Chains A and B, each alone.
Chain A
Amino acid sequence: MIAFEHVGKRYGGRFEALAHLNFRVGRGEMVFLTGHSGAGKSSLLRLIIRLERPSRGRILVAGHDIDRLHHTQVPFYRRQIGVVFQDHQLLFDRSIYHNVALPLEIQGMELRETSRRVRAALDKVGLLHRERALPIELSGGEQQRVGIARAVVNKPALLLADEPTGNLDPQLSADIMSLFEDFNRIGTTVMVASHDLALIARLRHRTLRLHDGRLVADEEAL
């Protein structure tokens, strides 16, 4: 699903955020990405969703060299990827329903299909009863679950998460991670960047460890 081939990323010509990255993530795999803060986890995810372009090497996603995408194709590429952010990036001027519907609205999906999918996604994260609420009325854990519902509403083949449990207590974090495992179980490729080592160790998935922008360990699940 994802292949990094000799990928390096420099910022401003000097600072080397990522260097010599070589790895593959198979379709349907669930992978953790870990490392100290500043190790390059976010940069790596930004490369995959093509917010940044690699300075060296190439990145293949679903067999396509994403550096070759024309800028007008990038939006359509991004629609195939669900992204969950640490600060969930909800829009506070609209209801939970409309936040989750946003990716479908962007694609111009019909209203009935939109409503069906939004309700299914909200049901999956256990927030169907809050669809009319505004994000501000929800707790941090609930907001993160809305962020996940928005990421999966489009049934993406690839789900990326950047520190999705960063601000949550251990119990909520475990709930969020088990949601990701559920999506992985139905065939979604999942990549989660996190520095919550204790939680990662318990979940037993393949783990990529970054240190100063280099891949220092690629540990298969035990």
Chain B
Amino acid sequence: MSRQGQEQPRRGARTHRAGAGGRWRSWGRHHRAMARDSALRLLRHPLSSLLTMLAIAIALVLPAGLWLALDGARLLDAELDESATLTAYLAERVDDGEAGRIEEALAAQQGVADTRLITAAEGMAEFQQSLGLEDALARLPGNPLPASVVVSPVDPSPEAVRRLADELGALNGVEEVRLDLAWLERLRHLAELGQRVTLALVVLFGMGVLLVVGNTIRLAVENRRQEIEVVTLIGATHPFVRRPFLYSGAWYGLGGGILAWGLLTLGGDWLSGPVSALAASYGASFVLPTLGVGGSATLLACSTLLGWLGAWIAVSRHLAQIRPR
């Protein structure tokens, strides 16, 4: 009404104008009208709309939550890469002066980023401290521990580290090079498994969202069958007929996305306490990752798109079946 009021003063000889500009304007107007109309239709049945959105939200929460967990695991992985070090144990006969020279030799090797010498005495002190065995160790006739050099590699990938270990092991005065790659690799495999499981769940639950929206829109199409028949009879194109349903689907998707976002945020808050306590008990600091602005936008965009797509599939399938009597 207000729109018409605004346009009143311009009335005159220019009324009959159906140029391309006017066509685009009316196309945009129809989009706005359908977006509003379909939103109002959803609000007219708040409970059933909410239930549909909740079904979408639940289907989205699982893959999104897993994705977040994976994001956290990847962070952990990065930290592990940094701590992927080798320990070169020197021969027992090597004294501290020679150990210093060997450390320099190790540091000069290609592929070595950093070295730290732990003399036999330092190693003993550390050992006593961490185990609380001062008395027992003090009774030993001599220091049984060799000096060692902790080496940080430039390239933390398992292959490079293994190659470096072989090279360092061949150096004079180095007795043995230890590296604990097995569990690092296990973790990598676990991360890859997690990625694949998440991807599978994303696909499955994405299809779940399509089905939920598709089914809801199918019912809406049935309810408005007469209207579809009439507008088809008087020359409506398929895009025109589809439009309100596509907007409904997009609204369902957006609503579901917002609910999923809320559930993820709540769930994150709920789990963060035990998770950081658990991490602290392992002497690590691990914070549950949150969606952030980019993640939230991606979640909402994906859910809206899925809703739209589900509606598109449902309407197109039924448009072919609806033939005016």
Binding site for B on A (CB under 8 A): 49, 51, 72, 75-79, 83, 89, 91, 93, 102-103, 105-113, 115-116, 150
Contact = CB atoms under 8 A, between A and B. Distances in A.
A75 B236 contact: yes
Contact of B233 (A49, A108, A111, A116): A49
Interface string B232-263: 11111110100000000000000000000000
A113 B15 contact: yes
7 contacts: A102-B230, A103-B235, A105-B30, A106-B236, A106-B237, A108-B30, A110-B22
- The 8 A-B residue pairs with the shortest CB-CB distance, nearest first, are A79-B235, A108-B26, A78-B235, A75-B237, A75-B235, A106-B236, A103-B234, A89-B230
Given A91-B226, A115-B4, A109 B235 contact: no
Interface of B: 3-4, 7, 11, 15-18, 22-23, 25-27, 29-30, 226-227, 229-238, 240, 323-324
Contacts of A49: 233
B18 A91 contact: no
Most B CB within 10 A of own CB, among A51, A76, A79, A110:
A110
Given A51-B323, A91-B226, A115-B4, A110 B18 contact: yes
Given A51-B324, A72-B237, A89-B226, A108 B231 contact: no
B7, B232, B234, B236 interface centre (most CB from chain A within 10 Å): B234
B226 A111 contact: no
Given A91-B226, A91-B227, A111 B234 contact: no
A112 B233 CA distance: 24
B7 A111 contact: yes
Nearest to A115: B4
Contact of A76 (B22, B230, B235): B235
Contact of B235 (A107, A110, A115): A107
Contacts of A113: 15-16, 18
Contacts of B323: 51
A110 B226 contact: no
A150 B234 contact: yes
Contacts of B16: 113
B4 A108 contact: no
A102 B15 contact: no
